[in-house]
Amino acid sequence: MKEKIINFFTDVNKEMRKVTWPTKDELRESTNVVIVVCLMIAAFTYVIDMIITQVIKGLF
């Protein structure tokens, strides 16, 4: 059991060395893209909600 645990963490260490980590600029750019897309989805959802609300109010 102890050997399996050691092998697991050894493998994790090997795999983590293969990871290509983003630079600060790449990370900043990706974060900006995520924020902008989230804001766009929120605005779209708000507009659709307002339209549906007005349609429902018009029916009753």
**Token code pair at residue 36:** 């902008």
Q: Is residue 30 part of a domain?
A: yes
Q: Is 59 contained in some domain?
A: yes
Residues contacting 48, CB < 8 A, separation 6+: none
Q: Is residue 29 part of a domain?
A: yes
Count of domains for the chain: 1
How does pLDDT run along the chain (60 residues), one tens digit per residue? Answer: 999 999 999 999 999 999 999 999 999 999 999 999 999 999 999 999 999 999 999 988
Is residue 3 assigned to a domain?
A: no
Alpha-carbon span 40 to 43, nearest angstrom:
5
In a domain, 44, yes or no: yes
Q: Which domain holds residue 35?
A: 23-60
Distance CA 36, CA 45 (A): 14
| pLDDT at position 60 | 82
